[in-house]
Amino acid sequence: MDFLWIAGGRKLSGNVRISGSKNASLPLLGATLLAKNRVQLTNLPNVVDIVTFLSLLSRLGAETTMQNGEAFVETLGVRETKAVYDIVRKMRASILVLGPLLARFGHCEVSLPGGCAIGARPVDLHLRAFEKMGAEIRIQSGYINAKAPKGLKGAVIDFDKITVTGTENVVMAAALAKGTTTIQNAACEPEVVQLCEVLHNCGVGICGIGTNELTIEGSGGELLNLAPISVISDRIEAGTYLCAGAITNSDITLSHVCVKHLYTILDLLRTIGFGIETGDDFVRILPCNKIASFELHTAEYPGFPTDLQAQFMALATQAEGETLIEERLFENRFMHAVELQRMGAKIELEGNKARIFGRQTLFGADVMATDLRASSALVLAALIAEGESRIHRIYHLDRGYERIEEKLSALGAMVKRSKE
């Protein structure tokens, strides 16, 4: 197993290129199951979750290749419709094959994802939506067994909660269903928008893209012809590097970003004192004299993303006063707080709220990553800690951050990957 060694205290400078979005790539790879052509995807991040999803598609019978961020996926030969436990347990986003497989083949089995480090994360909303579209769903021996022998039919789906992968799953299924599907309380994250745009570009009638109500005209089972796809930039990776600039109080520039996806994050950084310059596809963060404390509540897009909550908690340890963070999406997403405390952070937790006391000197330590974003918060803390840190279990980081040690080293950080 690898760990990251980081010597804290270095200022950063220079440019970092932001990779393609992991969470946009995953549903787009799922959507290749709806296509009759060989689909080209570019700007895919070279991270473990993408490799895992490609191997899931191969296990189903797809032909896949990936090199330098470019993949070709041909799913016409897919005959297998079972997504096995071995892969789903590695990556919950495997649930994204459920909608496409069910819509295309009229049946499939997908291992039921269990809880994970950030919460119970049920998929009941996905399943209820498919039942409304005419599927019979049974849970058997840990698998979701879904059948729609006469095909899926359009329906009105009103999600009780906004769900990102739930919306994506239903959009993909609705694209091949018979008739019209309306999704109320749909997610409108940029990753959902890109999926809708890709389907719309190949002739699927979709109204309401980017809003909380989507209407999708299904093709009645006819497979689609997907044009080449260039994956959008990763707004969470961008937010993480902005936090790296902020916590080290450095002047760095992020290139290949989609600035409009970062408005909420840039607003917060400006409010707490940082200079921000933006261009067509870059963001520069400039140092500030004092970091003001802040209050943040995670929310669905365009609110503050839960996937950046941990990183901003690390930043809050350097603010002037007390910061309040409320995690509204996942019930157990404060595991990083305990590890940050081990580095000297003063954080009080109460339910889904955290109070972070600023102006804390952090000290290097051995810390353990518990999930992807928690891991990146520990990396940020280590960048300013006095002394050396070792961040263990970085396989979590490798799931979603491309070459993080190379990117940080190029910015001037002292970071090395080593074997345990």
- Shortest distance in whole angstroms from residue 123 CB to ligand EPZ: 4
Least distance in angstroms from the C-beta of 76 to ligand EPZ: 25
Count the Cβ atoms, other than its own, within 10 Å of residue 263.
12
- Indicate whether 373 belongs to the interface with ligand EPZ (CB under 6 A): yes
Q: Does 124 bind ligand EPZ (CB under 6 A)?
A: yes
Does the annotation mark 116 as catalytic? yes
In whole angstroms, how close is the CB of 157 to ligand EPZ at the nearest point? 12
**Is the omega angle on the peptide bond into residue 45 within 30 degrees of 0, that is, cis?**
no
- CB neighbour burial string for 379-397, b if at least 16 within 10 angstroms, e if fewer: bbbbbbbeeebbbbbbebb
- Contact by Cβ (8 Å): 25, 50: yes
- Which CB sits closer to ligand EPZ, 23 or 219? 23
Quick check: 225 and 201 in contact, CB under 8 A?
A: no
DSSP string, 195-231: HHHHHHHTT-EEE-TTSSEEEEE--TTPPB-PPPEEP
Say how far apart CA 350 and CA 167 lie, in whole Å. 31
Point out which span in 137-145, 163-171, 195-203, 315-323 binds ligand EPZ (CB under 6 A): 163-171
Which of 9, 61, 106, 119 forms a contact with ligand EPZ (CB under 6 A)? 119
How far is the CA of 213 from the CAs of 32, 161, 196, 233, in angstroms? 24, 13, 12, 24
What CA–CA distance (Å, rounded) separates 210 from 189?
7
> Which of positions 178-237 make contact with ligand EPZ (CB under 6 A)?
191
| Beta carbons within 10 angstroms of residue 119's beta carbon | 14
Q: Which residues between 39 and 98 bind ligand EPZ (CB under 6 A)?
A: 93
Q: Answer yes or no whether residue 26 interacts with ligand EPZ by CB under 6 A.
A: yes
- Selected binder of ligand EPZ within 14, 122, 275, 303 (CB under 6 A): 122
Which lies closer to ligand EPZ via its Cβ, residue 249 or residue 370? 370
Question: For residues 10 and 121, which CB has a smaller minimum distance to ligand EPZ in the complex?
Answer: 121
Q: Taking a C-beta distance cutoff of 8 angstroms, is the pair 176, 218 a contact? A: yes
Q: Which stretch binds ligand EPZ (CB under 6 A): 97-105, 138-146, 157-165, 214-222?
A: 157-165
* Tokens representing residue 71 in the block: 């993949």
In the set 294, 330, 334, 401, which binds ligand EPZ (CB under 6 A)?
Answer: 330
Q: Does position 123 bind ligand EPZ by CB under 6 A? A: yes
Residue 10 C-beta: closest distance to ligand EPZ, Å: 26
The residue annotated as part of the active site, out of 116, 207, 258, 288, is 116
Judged by CB under 6 A, the chain residues 130 through 149 that form the site for ligand EPZ are: none
Q: Verify binding: residue 239, ligand EPZ, rule CB under 6 A.
A: no
Judged by CB under 6 A, the stretch of 61-69, 99-107, 158-166, 211-219 that binds ligand EPZ is 158-166
- The interface mask with ligand EPZ, positions 288-307, x = CB under 6 A, is ------------------xx
Q: What is the token pair recorded at 326?
A: 């409320």
Q: Which distant-in-sequence residues (6+ apart) come within 8 Å of 148 by Cβ? A: 102, 103, 106, 107, 130, 133, 134, 135, 136
Nearer to ligand EPZ (CB atom), residue 71 or residue 125: 125
Taking residue 101's Cβ as centre, other Cβ atoms within 10 Å add up to 26
Stretch of 164-172, 226-234, 279-287, 409-417 contacting ligand EPZ, by CB under 6 A: 164-172
Q: How far apart are CA 154 and CA 176, in angstroms?
A: 9
Closest CA to 367 of 384, 334, 343, 332: 343
Instruction: List interacting residues with ligand EPZ (CB under 6 A).
Output: 23, 26, 93, 119, 121-126, 161, 163-166, 191, 306-307, 329-330, 372-373, 400
Active site residues: 116
